[in-house]
Amino acid sequence: MSDAAQTSKPRGLNINWRYIWYQISRSPLMMIGSSIIAIVLILVIFAPLFATHDPNAISLRERLAPPSWDHFFGTDEVGRDLYSRILYGGQQSIAVGFFVVVLAGGIGTLLGAFSGLVGGRLDTAIMRLMDVVLSVPSLVLVLALAAALGPSLQNAALAIAIVRIPFYVRLARGQTLLVREMAYVTAAETFHAKKRHILRWHILPNIMSPILVQTTLDLGNTILLASALSFIGLGAQQPTAEWGAMVATGRNYILDQWWYSAFPGFAILITATAFNLFGDGLRDILDPKQKAR
């Protein structure tokens, strides 16, 4: 078994695009996930190109109009085009997602890797602190933080990022403990390399794969969480278009004007799902062993 497996085994992030494409093409879910992400990102980033109306243009004559050729997804209570608002609103939601994973992922990874590498009392102290944060249900903590910081999308993002940090710390520390046992780290110890060198040179590059997977999975969750905060009024404020906020206002009209909350809700659903599919697929690609067995 091992005999044959050895001949084609590009590993990790030393990027071989052909190999990555080969893997993606073999996993239908990954294909679907990455296609949706690509479409969503293009639509959202180039929203001005695809939008049919100004997202904030009020037209009381056309308020709460059902989907039509003029307004693909209908309009809201002040006659704004929902299709265009969803495109622009996606900018907010996805920006929050990336902001959170970059901030939480970056800080959490560094802290976790550092903690795992130095070990001892400092490690114990850091991990106990993380345990305390983790022991509070994260939604409750996010609510408390967001409320304390004041209702705005930026503060909501910050609150989510703070709450997500311990997850990355734990993940990074666990991976660090594994990598630390590798022979190349022992080799670095024999020439008395500094801890900083070991961290930058060996630990960080080698713990990146699982963390990357975690961040993609987290993107979906964060978009959901940000929408939830906006939904209860702690996130984006009027008139900013944001998916969660749109679902929240649309809720008032759900019985008669279903399209108002259905389309933004669907945007949240499809984006979060796509990132989750992508993350799962990425895990398989970065860890081929898991799949082969």
Partner 1 sequence: MSNHVMQLNDVHVRFPIGANWLGRPKGFVHALNGVDLTVRRGKTLGIVGESGCGKSTLAQVLMGILNPTEGRFSSTADKEAGVQIVFQDPQSSLNARMPIWRVITEPVFARKRTSVAELRNIAVELARQVGLREEVLDRHPHEFSGGQRQRIAIARALSSDPDIIVLDEPTSALDISIQAQILNLLTELQQARGITYIFISHDISVVRYLCDEVAVMYLGQVVEKGPVEDVLGAPQHPYTSLLLESVPTMGVAGDFGQPLTNTDLPSNRNLPPHCYFLDRCTFAGSECRQAQSLSPVGGEKDHVARCVRATSGDLNMREGKENGAC
Partner 2 sequence: MSDAVLQIEGLEIQFPGFAGAVHAVSGVDIEVGAGEIVGIVGESGSAKSVTAMSALRLLPKGAFDMPSGKITLLGKDLATITETEMNEMRGRDVAMIFQEPQTALNPTKKIGKQMIKVIELHTELKGKAAKDHALSLLRDMRINDAEEILDRYPFELSGGMRQRILIGMAFACSPRLLVADEPTTALDVTVQRQVLQLLHHKARQTGASVLFISHDLAVVNQFCDRVYVMYAGRVIESGKTADALGSPAHPYTQALIEALPEHAKKGEALSSIDGTVPNLVKPPTGCAFEARCTKSIEKCIQRPALKPIAADKRQVACWLKEAQNV
Q: 69: which DSSP letter?
A: S
Closest distance to partner 1 from the beta carbon of 175 (Å): 13
Pick the closer one to partner 1 by CB: 69 or 191: 191
Instruction: Report the SS3 class of residue 100.
Output: helix
With contact defined as beta carbons under 8 Å apart, do 226 and 271 qualify?
no
Residue selected from 11, 22, 66, 186 as contacting partner 2 according to rule CB under 8 A: 22
Distance CA 223, CA 229 (A): 10
Both structure tokens of 18: 């052909």
The C-alpha torsion from 217 through 238 and 245 to 56, rounded to 10°, is -90
What residues from 1 to 40 belong to the interface with partner 1 (CB under 8 A)?
9-14
Pick the closer one to partner 2 by CB: 13 or 187: 13
Pick the closer one to partner 2 by CB: 5 or 102: 5
What residues from 154 to 183 belong to the interface with partner 1 (CB under 8 A)?
182-183
Residue 7 interacts with which of partner 1, partner 2, none, CB < 5 to 8 Å by class: partner 2
Residue 19 interacts with which of partner 2, partner 1, none, CB < 5 to 8 Å by class: partner 2
Count of all residues that appear for the chain in the document: 293
List all residues 6 or more positions away from 2 whose beta carbon is below 8 Å from its beta carbon.
Answer: none
Alpha carbon distances (Å) from 287 to 12, 52, 149, 209, 284: 8, 43, 40, 8, 5
Interface map 180-219 toward partner 1 (x if CB under 8 A)? --xxx-xxxxxxxxx--x---xx--xx-------------
Task: Give the residue ranges of DSSP H helices in the chain.
Answer: 2-5, 17-26, 28-45, 47-50, 82-118, 120-135, 138-149, 153-180, 183-190, 195-198, 204-231, 243-250, 259-286, 288-292
Burial class (CB in 10 A: 0-12, 13-18, 19+), 72: middle
Closest distance to partner 1 from the beta carbon of 132 (Å): 24
Contact status: 60 vs partner 2 (CB under 8 A): no
Closest distance to partner 1 from the beta carbon of 180 (Å): 12
CA 19 to chain centre: 25
Residue 192 interacts with which of partner 2, partner 1, none, CB < 5 to 8 Å by class: partner 1
Residue 22 interacts with which of partner 1, partner 2, none, CB < 5 to 8 Å by class: partner 2
Residue selected from 122, 140, 144, 292 as contacting partner 2 according to rule CB under 8 A: 292
Closest distance to partner 2 from the beta carbon of 27 (Å): 13
With contact defined as beta carbons under 8 Å apart, do 164 and 203 qualify?
no
Interface positions with partner 2 (CB under 8 A) = 1-8, 10, 18-19, 22-23, 292
Interface positions with partner 1 (CB under 8 A) = 9-14, 182-184, 186-194, 197, 201-202, 205-206
